[in-house]
Structures are given as C-alpha cells and as structure tokens.
Structure 1
C-alpha cells in the first residue's frame, strides 16, 4: 500500500501555465513534484481522450481478480480557481456501476476535495487511469505524455525517481 501511495502521489498533474512544447515542474518541499501543462497541449489532450476511451479496459482488469494486477488508480479532473486540477484517486472499487476511491494527492489549486476524501468518480471527468501488471504500468497515458516531453536526461531521472516500468 505504501508503494502505491508514493507512486500515485508522484503524479499530481495540473493543466495550467506551461508552454505547448515544454513541461514545467514545480518542486515542493516534502511534497511530490507538480507537473504543469497548458490546456491546449495537444499531446496531453490526446492522452486524456485515449484514457477516457479505454476505461472499459481498466474496468475489465479491475474486476478480473487477476492477482498480478494491483494499485488501481483513476485520475479525475476537478474545477479550480484558475482552470482545472487533475488528481489521482486510489483504492478504486466498482460499486454497482460506479467507480469509487480515495483522493490520493494533496490538492494544490482546487478546494473541491481534500486528501483522503472518499469520492464517486465522475466518468465524464476521468483524465487517466492505470494499474500495475507484474510491476509494469498499464495505462498511465498522461504520465507517458509528460515523460515523452522530457529530455533524455530528464527521462532517466524521472524513471529512477519513480521506479516506473511501462508495459
């Protein structure tokens, strides 16, 4: 569980204040880094569309009872004063036909939720999903978009810092 929280906390992604061709990282003392991405970033917007369009794949994995699958998370968009904030929700469960989970990141720009809140996922506001399959990330479309925008040196540091292996 600790591994999943640390992992999820590493990927708070906020859609504001950055150039289309770069990723701006805000480092916070004692808190995970925040990656800021402009609303019109085509690659990030496509990543969110791809995640939303493939949510059924996530649901199938979640309900499969496959013991090699773990750390199911969904990222949801929340309104903020100056745009939107996309926050990871952990410990995902399917209740009837609704995804439920716990806010996994300390919000920076929104006051709509707080760390530790249990929420029902708004399917229209899903911006990403992921889980591990034998230690490899499945999904994580927005994480991949951020990583792909980094220089090779930054990618190496990103991978080492987060211990990510993509499927």
Structure 2
C-alpha cells in the first residue's frame, strides 16, 4: 500500500490537484504543481462528466484481480474558499460498494482533508479516475485535457518527467 502511494505521488507531479475558479498553475517549492482550471472550462467539465459516467469501468477493473492493472486512483472534489479543489485519492479499495483510499496529494486550498488521510470517496464528487494497464494510463480524463493543452515541447517534457504512457 505504501509503495503504490509513494509511486503515485512521485509520478503525478503535475496532477497534484486542480482548483476551479482560477487560471494557470500554482508552483510550490518541493511540492507538485497545482494546475488551476476555470470552472467554465468546457473540455475539463466534459472530462469530469465522462469520468463520473464511466466509474463502473474503474470499479470492474479494480475487482478484476487482473495482474496487469495497478495504481488505482480517484480524483475527488473538495470544497475550498474561493472554489473547489480536486485531489487524488490513492490506494483505492472497494469496501461494501464504497471506494476507500488515502489522500495522495498535499491540499493547497481546502482544509477538509490532509495528505495521508483515509477517506470514503464521495461518488457525487468524483472528478476523475485512473489506473495502469500494463504500464499505460487508463482513464485520466482530466490529465488528458491538461496534457492536450500543452505545446509540443511542454508535452514532451511532461511525458519525459513523469513517465505516463497513455493508451
């Protein structure tokens, strides 16, 4: 459990969290960047709808016991002053049809949770999910929106720095 949490934290440098109601990114010394997205961003809003609508795909993969599937994470929205913050929850387990996991990123804007807290995911507030299938990202809808908005040079740097491979 600890191994996967550390792995996720180390590779998701740019996916730390997202805050609605802002623009650009917040850089933090020694911490992952936080990408701020306007809450009226149509592509990001559609990505969150797509993620929420496909959560059963995530659930089926989680319970499949497929050895090629690993590093299951869900991004959940938390209330914060001035907007909402979307934070990754790692080490996901399914317990009595509820997703439970550990806050995998240091929150910037919300005080509702802290890094390392164990929570039950609020399904109504799911904004993304992802896992690896043989080393390739499945899901990651909001990540793809951010990545697709990068210049070719930034995209190459992003890919080189975090090692994410998209299906």
TM range (shorter): over 0.9
Q: Is residue 4 of structure 1 aligned with residue 8 of structure 2?
A: yes
Using the TM superposition, give the Cα deviation of residue 9 of structure 1 relative to its aligned residue in structure 2, in angstroms: 5.1
Using the TM superposition, give the Cα deviation of residue 3 of structure 1 relative to its aligned residue in structure 2, in angstroms: 2.0
Aligned counterpart, 1:16: 21
Q: Is residue 90 of structure 1 aligned with residue 90 of structure 2?
A: yes
Equivalent residues of 2:20, 2:39 under 8 A apart: yes
Aligned counterpart, 1:70: 70
Q: Number of matched residues?
A: 162
Distance 2:58 2:39 in 1: 25
Gaps of 5+ in 2: none
Gaps of 5+ in 1: 19-23
Give RMSD over aligned pairs.
1.0
TM-score (norm 2): 0.94
Q: Once the two structures are superposed, what CA deviation does each residue of 1:94-146 show, in whole Å capped at 9, x if it has no partner?
A: 00110000000000000000000000000000000000011100000000000
Alignment of 1:41-60 (within 5 A): 41-60=41-60
Alignment of 1:104-115 (within 5 A): 104-115=104-115
Aligned counterpart, 1:21: none
Using the TM superposition, give the Cα deviation of residue 33 of structure 1 relative to its aligned residue in structure 2, in angstroms: 1.0
Deviation >6 Å, runs of 4+? none
Aligned counterpart, 2:80: 80
Distance 2:90 2:151 in 1: 29
Aligned counterpart, 1:31: 31
